[in-house]
Amino acid sequence: MLIRNKRSWELPERIATSESVFLNRRALLAGGAGLVASAAMAPHAQAFSLFGESKVYGAPEDDPSTKLYPFKRNEAYKLDRDLTPEGFNFTYNNYYEFGSSKNIAEAAQALKIRPWTVKFDGMVEEEREVDVDTLLSAMPLEERLYRHRCVEAWSMTIPWCGFPLAALIDYAKPLSSAKYVRMETFMNPAVAPGQKTGSFGYPWPYVEGLTIEEATNDLAFIATGAYGKPLPKQMGSPLRLATPWKYGFKSIKGIVKFTFTNERPVSFWEEINAREYGFWANVNPKVPHPRWSQAEERVLGTRDTVPTQLFNGYGEQVASLYPDTDERTYFM
């Protein structure tokens, strides 16, 4: 997510170097094809940091949900490429609450993830607040392999653990007249320095929204873990959204509230710059970002640049939500 003019997908030299050193080292160790997938799945593999020798922060040690993992994989969700090694996903993050660089993992460790309550309000049968472990115990837990495409023209693949957003919507019991679900991130400037007034002047807390049709589509997923373990804090623990047909900024992290409403929510980045980061944000190679092309994407963890796919390759599941694909607003 960039507001400044530097083209964000051009990785700084030091990161590009670490990446290629990493790939060469693994190639030597593993001797060839399939190494990325196997490295990603090895449960206790030494994760690699994109930021040199700095510590890699994985699943929080005190997360009481650890015992629930790993979740059974839902084989309906397959990938067309290797999994990204966990060290990339654990160290290259956007979480502006903790800073505007990608290297925020250490800062994110300040976030306390228990106790953590989730509120359901607005157009619901009954407003309520539930603690996250009670919510987890009521959800159908599974693992899914998803692509993840950032608006900044880089991509990764991730084995998410979690549950369908549709199951959470059922649990929340919205009124049938509700048209949207608005999601909100925690607000605590004492632990998240980015939220301090004046640090970026952004409209905290982070907010995202989906139509009810989008939110109840099979693909919309709430992630509580990744790589067979609870989510690292920097990836949005204890709850974050994964909508793989949309640009990554829709995937709100650290969610504390789901509000059902009739009015289209104004999302965080939309409020900052609607021309560049709209409400719909569906991936489309033919609709450039005002400042760069979306035709291709850099696949992090590899040396590949590949063509971007309409709806990030998930058109079969979601295209019917957007009947008019000439309508540019769906892709902004």
> Contact between 206 and ligand MTE (CB under 6 A)?
yes
Mark residues 140-179: x for contact with ligand MTE by CB under 6 A, - for none.
Answer: ----------x-----------------------------
Contact 155, 81 (CB under 8 A): no
Transcribe 118-176 into DSSP letters: EEEEESBSS-EEEEHHHHHHHS--EEEEEEEE-TTSEEEEEEEEEEEHHHHHHHH-B-T
With 0-12 / 13-18 / 19 or more C-beta atoms within 10 angstroms meaning exposed / middle / buried, residue 41 is middle
Cβ of residue 5: shortest distance to ligand MTE, in angstroms?
Answer: 17
What does the CA dihedral 37, 41, 45, 47 come to, rounded to 10 degrees? 70
Toward ligand MTE, which CB reaches closer, 94 or 157?
Answer: 94
Candidates 36-44, 67-75, 119-127, 248-256: pick the segment binding ligand MTE (CB under 6 A). Answer: 248-256
The first and second tokens of residue 245, run together, are: 């047909």
Candidates 27-35, 46-54, 94-102, 284-292: pick the segment binding ligand MTE (CB under 6 A). Answer: 94-102
DSSP strand pairing (128-131 vs 117-122): antiparallel
Cβ of residue 72: shortest distance to ligand MTE, in angstroms?
Answer: 22
Candidates 57-65, 132-140, 244-252, 302-310: pick the segment binding ligand MTE (CB under 6 A). Answer: 244-252
Toward ligand MTE, which CB reaches closer, 77 or 95?
Answer: 95
> Contact between 252 and ligand MTE (CB under 6 A)?
yes
> Contact between 93 and ligand MTE (CB under 6 A)?
yes
The first and second tokens of residue 221, run together, are: 């997923």
The first and second tokens of residue 289, run together, are: 């970002």
Binding site for ligand MTE (CB under 6 A): 1, 93-97, 150, 185, 206, 235, 248-249, 251-254
